[in-house]
Amino acid sequence: MTAFAQPSPLLEARDLTKLYGNVQALDSASFTVGEGITGLLGPNGAGKSTAIRIFLGLTDATSGSALVMGADARNPEARVRLGYMPEHDCLPPNQSAANFLTHMAEVSGIPPSRSRALAADTLRHVGLFEERYRPIGGYSTGMKQRVKLAQALVHDPVLILLDEPTAGLDPTGRTDMLNLIRRIAREFGISVVLSTHLMQDVERTCDNIVLLDLGRVKESADVKTLTQETEFIFVEVANNRDQFMAELATRNIQHDLESSAISIPDVDGPKFDAIRDSLVASEARLVRMGPRQRALIDLFRT
Amino acid sequence: MTTDQQRTGTVFDIGYQSYEGTREGRGLAWKTLVIDGVKNGMGIGRGGWAKFLPWLVLSPTILTGLVFAAIAAFFEQLGFDVEDTEGGLPLDLPGHLELTAVISFMILIFAAFIGPELVCPDRRNRVIHLYLVRPITLFDYLGARWCALFLLLFAASTLPHITYWVGLLFGVGDALGHAQDNWLDIPRFIGYSLVFATFTTAVSIAISSITDRRMIATLIIIGIMMIASIAPGIISIFNPSDSVMELLNLIGLIDLSSTIVPSIFFDTYSENYDLNIAIPIAWMVFLTVGSIAATWRFYQGQR
């Protein structure tokens, strides 16, 4: 029997470095993951998968340390309350979801007397209760993703690591999966690390992000801070855009054309009046005007 | 009488319930993986074809023990003294050593089918990635799979002997006398079965580590056994000396495990072989330990 205290933070990387031969996958990366949904972001080769593999105890760091709920990630006990959903297929096609989850619960230390009930409950929560006795091989891609998620949840973890959970899903399936992930965090109280390169998934789901680039931590903050409103104003007009821009220039208002909209920096009271006057003078029909929010994609550009 | 109102019920979704019960350690994981391995090996809980192959190969071994016992009982009924073959009686029934020679080949074939069944699908379907992120180690996973195959092969090796020994007990007139005279056979066939199952498990799992396709692994195991068995025969064309030939015979895995090693346990080695007894023992240990080390190294590289 394992008594497991739940310290904070849930994950902690301290100067984590990983070398594969001459290739540096992680370069003194230090970050923490707390409660809620955290997006682990980065382009291909940023070190996301390596970091996850180290936290899961699948590979050792070259230097530095990785702690899972205060315990060394190399210690199997650290994984007692940790769940993992890989990106790739990893399910036995000839087993039913109920049997597979029951088996996985027992391997995680849940007594056999409780594992079957937990498996059924977990499958109900991911929406596969009716299908639980069918062989997994006959499931659709979306259903398989749900079984993968269910096996990560079946032993009631404190934290689950999800690797590209929406990969291969159609738009509806993707929305459903992201809703489910939000529900896991909000209703079930299970924290989530979402490793993905899809910015929209992170913006729609995550509370915090850790941005990795070339093995280093480029940014680590909460999503609201990173996507807060900027001092830019976006103006979109339906016609006479060139005349409107000319009127802005006449009034010495700095502006840039970004795709179909015009962005104007450092807008204060008098500038708003000048923008209004320019719109009237150019007879441009206003479609939209508002503060511009930074998108997470901008983080990659900086 | 039940009214419509009584029949009406409401299902309440009590939502997610956190598990507050005990969490057992790696011991439960081992037990679960071993039981799962035994079930997978014998096709329990799976389709008909999955059950058919292991039983097709295993049944003849148990039947052989039964047939041996039945023959002995039959001749006992006819008045022959099946216990005493020293006095030149017309009946010379085979003993446990001969039974070993007959069933060993079948058990090797059984291992060629079951070994890959236990480890190849986990790698092919990549379920192994899900095992290794649970609170267990690679050693736990491999050890449990190894134990599952060992248990199956040990059972396959001992059951025919037990059937034969018990069958003779009921078949001969003097059961107590038979038990007193032949009790030593029990530790002998158990000891041999332990060594044979260990060796066969190690080789089967090691070869199954090469590929994630079951049938290919099975064919490689059978192929290696066959080639290793005919190799000494081919080399004998060049008329090597008897001592060299005895050494070469050790290459033949079937001969090694079904004839040479059993003769050590059944105390007939010195009658049949001139080679120092330490050599086949060392060779068997080398093959077993080497196979285990190769398996470990392969899986370490695969993580």
Residue pLDDT, tens place only, B171-194: 766 778 878 888 888 999 999 999
CB B273 within 8 A of CB B246: yes
Q: Is the pLDDT of residue B62 over 90?
A: no
The answer to whether A65 faces chain B, any CB pair under 8 Å, is: no
CA–CA min distance A31, chain B (Å): 21
Where among A187, A205, A225 does a domain terminate? Answer: A225
Q: Please report, rounded to a whole number, the percentage of residues in chain B having pLDDT higher than 90.
A: 45
Radius of gyration of chain B from its Cα atoms, rounded to whole angstroms: 25
Q: Is the pLDDT of residue B88 over 50?
A: no
Contact: B16, A155; criterion CB under 8 Å: no
CA–CA min distance B297, chain A (Å): 15
A161 plus A266 within the same structural domain: no
Selected residue with higher pLDDT from B20 and B74: B20
Q: What is the pLDDT of residue B108?
A: 92
A246 plus A207 within the same structural domain: no
A48 plus A189 within the same structural domain: yes
Cα diameter, chain A: 79
- Measured CA to CA, the distance from residue B124 to residue B146 in angstroms comes to 18
Where among A206, A225, A244 does a domain terminate? Answer: A225
A143 plus A261 within the same structural domain: no
Strands in A261-264's sheet, in edge-to-edge order, are A256-258, A261-264, A229-237, A286-293
The pLDDT profile of chain A, 302 residues, written as one tens digit per residue, is: 444 444 569 999 999 999 999 899 999 999 999 999 999 988 888 899 999 999 999 999 999 999 999 999 999 999 999 999 999 999 999 899 999 999 999 999 999 999 999 999 999 999 998 889 999 999 999 999 999 999 999 999 999 999 999 988 898 999 999 999 999 999 889 999 999 888 888 888 999 999 999 999 988 888 877 776 566 788 888 888 889 999 989 988 888 887 778 888 877 778 888 888 999 999 989 888 877 666 666 666 65
Is residue A5 domain-resident? no
The number of residues in chain A equals 302
- Measured CA to CA, the distance from residue A85 to residue A148 in angstroms comes to 6
Q: Is the pLDDT of residue B274 over 80?
A: yes
Q: What is the pLDDT of residue B81?
A: 60
Q: What is the pLDDT of residue B90?
A: 45
A61 plus A190 within the same structural domain: yes
- Measured CA to CA, the distance from residue B55 to residue B51 in angstroms comes to 6
Q: What is the pLDDT of residue A299?
A: 64
DSSP assignments along B71-92, one per residue: HHHHHHHTT--TT--TT--S--
Radius of gyration of chain A from its Cα atoms, rounded to whole angstroms: 24
Calculate the average pLDDT of chain B.
86
Is residue A3 domain-resident? no
A183 plus A293 within the same structural domain: no
Nearest to B162 by CA among B97, B244, B96, B254: B96
The single residue listed with the structure tokens 């409103």 is: A229
A169 plus A204 within the same structural domain: yes
A249 plus A132 within the same structural domain: no
Q: What is the pLDDT of residue A294?
A: 63
Contact: A58, B303; criterion CB under 8 Å: yes
CB B140 within 8 A of CB B29: yes
Contact: B132, A58; criterion CB under 8 Å: yes
Chain B residue nearest residue A137, CA to CA: B125
A175 plus A235 within the same structural domain: no
A218 plus A264 within the same structural domain: no
The single residue listed with the structure tokens 């005279």 is: B181
Q: What is the pLDDT of residue A217?
A: 93
A176 plus A288 within the same structural domain: no
Interface test with B, best of A54, A95, A107, A163 (most B CBs within 10 A): A107
Alpha carbon of A196 to those of A30, A45, A47, A56, A87: distances in Å? 19, 12, 12, 17, 10
pLDDT digits (tens, 9 = 90+) for B192-216: 999 999 999 999 999 999 999 999 9
Is residue A4 domain-resident? no
Contacts of B6 (CB under 8 A, 6+ apart): none
- For residue B101 the two structure tokens come to 């020679």
- How many helices (H) and strands (E) in chain B? 14, 0
Report the DSSP pairing between strands A159-163 and A82-85. Answer: parallel
Domain extents in chain B = 25-302
Q: What is the pLDDT of residue A68?
A: 95
Burial A166-175 (b: 16+ CB within 10 A, else e): beebeeebbe
CB pairs under 8 A between A and B: 107
Q: Name the domain count of chain A.
A: 2
A188 plus A96 within the same structural domain: yes
Beta-carbon count within 10 A of A269 CB: 7
Q: Tell me the mean pLDDT in the region B263-292.
A: 90
Q: What is the pLDDT of residue A1?
A: 43
Q: Please report, for the domain that includes residue A239, its CATH number.
A: 3.30.70.790
Least CB–CB distance from A125: residue in B16, B18, B32: B16
- How many helices (H) and strands (E) in chain A? 10, 14
- Measured CA to CA, the distance from residue B40 to residue B127 in angstroms comes to 14
Contacts of B270 (CB under 8 A, 6+ apart): B277
The answer to whether A84 faces chain B, any CB pair under 8 Å, is: yes
Q: Tell me the mean pLDDT in the region B99-120.
A: 92
Categorize the per-residue pLDDT at B56 as very low, low, confident or very high, splitting at 50, 70 and 90.
confident
Alpha carbon of A108 to those of A66, A101, A269: distances in Å? 21, 10, 62
- Structural domain span for residue A114: 11-225
Find the helix or strand (DSSP H, E) in which B167 lies.
helix B138-171
Q: Model ipTM?
A: 0.84
The answer to whether A106 faces chain B, any CB pair under 8 Å, is: yes
Q: Please report, for the domain that includes residue A141, its CATH number.
A: 3.40.50.300
Is residue A6 domain-resident? no
Chain B residue nearest residue A88, CA to CA: B126
Contact: B19, A118; criterion CB under 8 Å: yes
**At A264, which amino acid appears?**
I
Q: What is the pLDDT of residue B115?
A: 95
The answer to whether A91 faces chain B, any CB pair under 8 Å, is: yes
- Measured CA to CA, the distance from residue A152 to residue A294 in angstroms comes to 33
Q: Tell me the mean pLDDT in the region B84-96.
A: 57
